[in-house]
A and B are shown apart, each in its own frame.
Chain A
């Protein structure tokens, strides 16, 4: 049954009295209850119009974040605002049920931020309530960041897994480190001390390391909060490249390329001056380290057999062994490994018919899975959900960053300006 659609404000007004009855039904604090839904499905969620300053933008950001998670189906509330509420003022759960919604998000802008109630349609009740603090100026970059965090919390209420909307992707554009939000908005450039490559996030999310190249090549660690840079020093006749932090955040591993090959070295962040060698390359090039989440092993690119392949070694450098020993494709160029956050697989690039494509391979079964085929695709980086991958693709004619949901195969373009390379997905940001 279709009613004439009224203004979102009128719909929001219909729930003006509702928050009081919601508070009366508040569940015990600290108990997280997810939706009653089947895993593997994408529960439908409705975000009711949000009354208050910047309410429309807030709602748009929440809906988009839910949509981009690829774990929820966002349902539009259209045509029947009157049917959404019962005469008593509470939600018409039956109506939402017939829409296919499993959850309804009801939010109101308050003096301190955003009051949010999550309704479980099947349970016909509110299953979580929270007053989120939003202190930033509406529409600003920091405000969007906070709203993304709210979306992630609500997603965690619904699916028991926190969302990744409050993450950023660091990448290189014309040898400068850039940051862009999860939704492709708010791209900014960081100040760099030289021509930069290979940005890498510290696991705490507060620092980014990168390397410069040419004479005076060095590893730089940039603190995003203070803007200060820490410099690991330049040496004559040496290129320092591909920095990566260990999962415990205490050390940094990078490749030192000298006139006798390139090996991986580890250096403590708390002031120890001398790097400790990890790989024994014997003159070969060993670059691009990526640690397993437990910190025990590291994957890297090595040409010790003559052409680049992906290797895995124990963190102390022992037991180095080839990972990409498969016949598929050109067999002579595999590189850029990134270990998944759940430790189960490694994403990398492998040359097929002269062009790189993105592959994943599970540590256990060692069966390669080709994930891309259009254009040339390189430099994969896992999202903290262990499910999404960002990478560089030339499928539109220029180098752009694309995001792939490895579970559904859904693909979206993250950047619009060409020349984006070497992406690195941040950990979940935000204070807990």
Chain B
């Protein structure tokens, strides 16, 4: 075949396509189009792609929402934990005493005052108060003195509304010192009540 003979069928095809395109773009009378099989398939594929894209976007949005809500819950938990830790410290703060005395000094009363609202706001909270003494004084008298020191702190809390059954008292006398030096600074630390949470302390509510 010559170039001419090859060219003519191509030109005829192009002409046909161009003329149909021209026919299509120009205003036409509405004539129900009869889709070819190819056109139908193309359109359905397009719709399917669109559906899948929409589904993916929706899934992303849901995942983001869940992550956001987890983050919010975690943040709330962290805040609650920090708050519980702070409230727990308030409950377990130590108070100290003068030598051979069990009376509550004003600084001890202030520490106890801070415990009261936490105890009242968290009715499941139970504590144990353990009284201690410094190494001076007879060991045996110190054991009784420790019991009295615990009792004094408990009475103070009970008088301010904490139910008696929530507070246990005990004594370690001079047997469990926090320091061993023989000087007033160490002795003062040892003359103390310690407060231990025995139940209900995992999550504390602010008063």
Contact = CB atoms under 8 A, between A and B. Distances in A.
Contacts of B138: 288, 301, 308, 335-336, 349, 356, 378-379
Interface string B121-161: 00000001010000001111101111110110011000000
B151 A259 contact: yes
A422 B175 CA distance: 13
Interface string B149-190: 011001100000000000011111101000000000000000
Contact of B170 (A215, A307, A356): A215
Nearest to B137: A333
Nearest to A238: B147
Interface in A203-234: 213-215, 217
Interface in A406-423: 421-422
B100 interface: yes
Nearest to B150: A259
A197 B155 contact: no
A211 to B, nearest CB: 8
A422 B141 CA distance: 12
A303 B148 CA distance: 12
Interface size class of B (residues with CB under 8 A): 20 to 34
A308 B143 CA distance: 13
B147 A262 contact: yes
B173 to A, nearest CB: 6
B168 A261 contact: no
A197 B141 contact: no
Contacts of B128: 215
Interface string A219-261: 0000000000000000011110110000000000001011111
A152 interface: no
Interface size class of A (residues with CB under 8 A): 35 or more
Contacts of A333: 100, 137
A175 interface: yes
A198 interface: yes
Interface string A310-333: 000000000000000000000011
Contact of B147 (A236, A259, A332): A259
A287 B139 contact: no
Contacts of A237: 151, 168-170
Contacts of B146: 239
Interface in A159-209: 175, 195, 197-198
Contact of A261 (B139, B141, B148): B148
B104 to A, nearest CB: 14
B130 A308 contact: no
Contacts of B169: 237, 259
B140 A197 contact: yes
Interface in A342-390: 349, 356, 378-379
B143 A214 contact: no
B147 A197 contact: no
A63 interface: no
A155 interface: no
A418 to B, nearest CB: 13
A120 interface: no
Contacts of A65: none
Contacts of A198: 139-140
B36 to A, nearest CB: 91
Contacts of B140: 197-198, 241-242, 287-288, 301, 335-336, 422
A197 B171 CA distance: 13
A288 B169 CA distance: 21
B168 A422 contact: no
A288 B171 contact: no
A215 B143 contact: no
Given A238-B147, A301-B140, A332-B100, 9 more contacts: A213-B170, A213-B173, A217-B171, A257-B148, A257-B171, A259-B147, A262-B144, A285-B141, A333-B137
Interface of A: 175, 195, 197-198, 213-215, 217, 236-239, 241-242, 255, 257-262, 285, 287-288, 301, 303, 307-308, 332-333, 335-336, 349, 356, 378-379, 421-422
16 contacts: A198-B139, A213-B143, A237-B170, A239-B146, A257-B144, A257-B147, A258-B147, A261-B148, A285-B145, A287-B141, A301-B140, A303-B141, A335-B140, A335-B141, A336-B138, A421-B139
Q: Which 5 A-B pairs have the closest CB atoms?
A: A259-B151, A335-B138, A285-B144, A257-B147, A262-B144
